[in-house]
Structure 1
Amino acid sequence: MSVDVVLIGRNEGQKLVRSLASVAPQARRMVYVDSGSTDQSVANAEQAGATVVRLDMSVPFTAARARNEGFAALMAQDDPPDVVQFLDGDCIMADGWLDEAEARLRSEDDLALVTGQQREMRRDASVFNQMFDVEWSRPAGQILTCPGNMMVRVSAFEEVGGFNPTVIAAEDDEFCTRLRKAGWRLLRIAEPMAGHDANMMRFSQWWKRAERTGHGFAQVGHLHPDYFVRERQRGWVYGLMMPIVAVFGTLSSPAVPVLVLGLYFLSYWKTTKGLIAEGLPVQEARAHAVYLTLSKFPNVIGMIRYHWRRLNNAQMRIIEYK
């Protein structure tokens, strides 16, 4: 065992216990970074043999900051690693993942990171869990970005300065973008990496996460104007411009809001067809398309929130949905 693992979490309960248990037999060393949990997360991590880092909660916490501090704790050891696996505390690591990923990462000197196949463990518990599963399901091969569960070469991490701790959402996209701009390659392999337990059962949770996603679109797009271009355009058009046109258009003709509704239906129909083409069952595709169409509204709220914070030099505080 030669790979160290950084786990991050906040009030994950038994999910963290299971996550630690899946990592312990595979890792050389575990560091758990806690973002102000009020449950037994810290005690559970210590009992599992992890080194615990408690974030200073007087400073707004982010997943990016937590990963950076976990990485720093590893590098402060007498025998620091040259490869680090990051894992969210609501994920179960697949057996044999560390060995598979490490072998691939070390086989190609220009690889900065390797990620694998991640699936939702309770996929059919809710439509929102199903949407997570679709989000995770991506083909193997060279990639532009990936979610935060990844194995990273220490030299690449240090070259780009790690994660940006001020980015509250899509911090993994932002990190990957800087790696690629520095000339590194990123790879997803076909091997199972982790099972994720979203446990998203309420519309309010989905809405808040979609707000946070929009904040990420705007913030990462501001840092890297060539990234999230279409996502930002869709947010502004479907989440803001079209509702404005519908409201003020009624002053000139009642046909205007009907036309706008027709455009929303067209977007829904195209999304449904695309999901079916990707292999999703018809009923699931229709349900997912409803939420993907609606998501432009919370997305644009998150985008507006980011720009308000930026223009007012306000702190970038995380938008919690759990």
Structure 2
Amino acid sequence: MRETSWDIDCVIIGVNCEKTIERCLRSILASSYPGHLLHIYYCDGGSTDSSIAIARRFAQVRVFELNAEYPTPGAGRNQGWKNSSSPFVQFLDSDTILDSLWLSKAAEAMNDNRIGAVFGLRQEIHPERSVYNWIGNLEWNGPAGESDCFGGDVCIRRSALEKTDGYDETLVGGEDPELSRRIIRAGWHLIRLNAPMTMHDLAMTTVKQYMRRSFRSGYAYGAVRSREAAVKSSFWKYDFQKIVIKSGGFFCSTALSLLLMLSPLPVIVKIAALFLPLIGLSLLLSPRLFKVEKFMQEHHLNNKEAKIYGWHCSMVVLPQFFGIIRFYVGKLFNKPLKNKRRNLKTALSTAGS
């Protein structure tokens, strides 16, 4: 690997992340990248626990306290890169662990001036501890090469951030792909390397957590798709339509069946109406019914694992559908979804692990 001499700013964001922030910071300090070229910034969104105190223990870390009433990931990330000056900025979430070799690989890739952002593989630390962690581990990564978007762990060229003015601070979800699209339209390429970048702990163990995360992902689909449609982009068009058609078809067929059953229509019509929910249900469950073999091949799963993943792909669109509705209702009445600091907390899959 060619020697690099680029300064890199590492910007970490978090809120109430006392269980993970020290681990994240230590992983950066343990990087094989030359220490004198690393500059670390922790941007806290308004923690009420000991997150800030922990970060301040590290002399190498500059801490920003945003104290926003409604924190967003974009606000924290913008605070970090706009108060630093290195040519590359590595963004991280506080619940990640940086691979020791990643920054060298990212800097090497960035020698190509056409690349606006580079990112690698994110892996779950404990995919075995819950089915939700396992699903997250399956979905974090895509094929190596040019990509149409990146996630929260990414190394971005400063000039790309300056040209696009960085992250959208109003978004509570989808801020990473939204910025990705603007960087591409500004003329840069996004590259995924087949190399470890970060370890992550989703720490999702309950249905409630799963539903909340899926609802927010639906909101993100709505927010980003709305922006992309405005510039005639097809990004996330298929994903958006899939959620709306499957969930909408299921709910509409069920509602229509009930209406027909309660109406003064001939018995034969009412009998036919009984089959409408089955049509909607088959549409909703199409991944579980028809794509098990595909999941086995694409994700290298056994039959049982592919069926579990099929259930996820079938059911996740329901909370996502309501997330999309929430976005458009909020847009109509100028009431966007907002983060409440008291509800933001970074956990571990197992306390003390």
Measured in 1, the distance between the counterparts of 2:81 and 2:45 equals 15
Give matches, 1:225-304, under 5 Å. 225=229, 226-250=234-258, 251=260, 252=270, 253-278=273-298, 279-304=300-325
How far does residue 241 in structure 1 lie from its aligned partner after superposition?
A: 3.2
The match for 1:307 among 328, 331, 344 is: 328
Max radius of gyration: which structure? 2
Contact 2:16 2:344 in 1 (8 A): no
Amino acid corresponding to residue 236 of structure 1 in structure 2: V
2:27 is the alignment partner of 1:22: yes
Root-mean-square deviation (CA, aligned residues, Å) is 1.7
- Tell me whether 1:178 sits opposite 2:182 in the alignment: yes
Structure 1 position 260, deviation (Å): 2.3
Shift in Å, 1:321? 7.4
Q: Secondary structure at the match of 1:188?
A: strand
- Take 1:321 and 1:238, find their aligned partners in 2: how far apart are those partners? 31
Which residue of structure 2 aligns with residue 77 of structure 1?
A: none
Aligned counterpart in structure 2 of residue 57 of structure 1, from 24, 46, 68: 68
Contact (CA 8 Å) 1:208, 1:321: kept in 2 or not?
no
User: Contact conserved, 1:81 with 1:154, CA < 8 A, in 2?
Assistant: yes
| CA–CA distance in structure 2, aligned partners of residues 222 and 273 of structure 1 | 33
Q: Distance in 2 between matches of 1:281 and 1:9?
A: 36
Aligned residues: 315
1:318 aligns with one of 317, 336, 339: 339
Q: Please state how far the C-alpha of 1:151 moved relative to its aligned partner.
A: 0.6
Q: Post-superposition shift, 1:266?
A: 2.9
8 Å contact kept, 1:167–1:220: no
User: 2:285 & 2:139 partners in 1: Cα distance?
Assistant: 22
Contact 1:115 1:146 (C-alpha < 8 Å) held by counterparts: yes
SS at match of 2:285: helix
2:79 aligned to which of 47, 61, 69 = 69
Q: Give the match for residue 149 of structure 1.
A: 153
- 1-structure distance, mates of 2:102, 2:80: 20
Structure 1 residue runs of 5 or longer lacking an equivalent are 75-79
Which residue of the other structure, out of 43, 50, 59, is the alignment partner of 1:33? Answer: 43
Q: What's the offset of the Cα at 1:259?
A: 2.5
Q: For 2:319 and 2:244, how far apart are their aligned partners in 1?
A: 11
Q: 2:95 aligns with which of 77, 90, 94?
A: 90
AA matched with 1:313: N
Q: Distance in 2 between matches of 1:164 and 1:283?
A: 40
Q: Aligned in 2, Cα 1:17/1:98: closer, same or farther, shift over 3 Å?
A: same
Match of 2:54 in 1: 44
Report the Cα distance in structure 1 between the residues aligned to 2:177 and 2:223, rounded to whole angstroms: 11
Aligned mates of 1:321, 1:41 — CA distance in 2:
12
Q: Distance in 1 between matches of 2:97 and 2:285?
A: 38
Give distance in 1, aligned partners of 2:344 and 2:315. 17
Question: With structure 2 as the length reference, what TM-score do the two structures score?
Answer: 0.85
Give the residue type in structure 2 aligned to 1:150: V
How big is each residue's C-alpha offset from its partner over 1:99-130, in whole Å with a ceiling of 9 and x where there is no partner? Answer: 1111111x211110110111111011111001
SS in 2 for 1:14: coil
Match of 1:140 in 2: 144
Give TM-score, length-normalised by structure 1.
0.93
- Whether contact under 8 Å (1:35, 1:66) holds in the other structure is yes
Whichever residue aligns with residue 276 of structure 2, its letter is V
Residues 1:202 and 1:152: Cα distance change in structure 2 (over 3 Å): same
**What CA distance in whole angstroms lies between the structure 1 residues aligned with 2:254 and 2:193?**
46
1:80-116 CA-partner distances (Å, limit 9, x unpaired): 21111001100000012111111111x2111101101
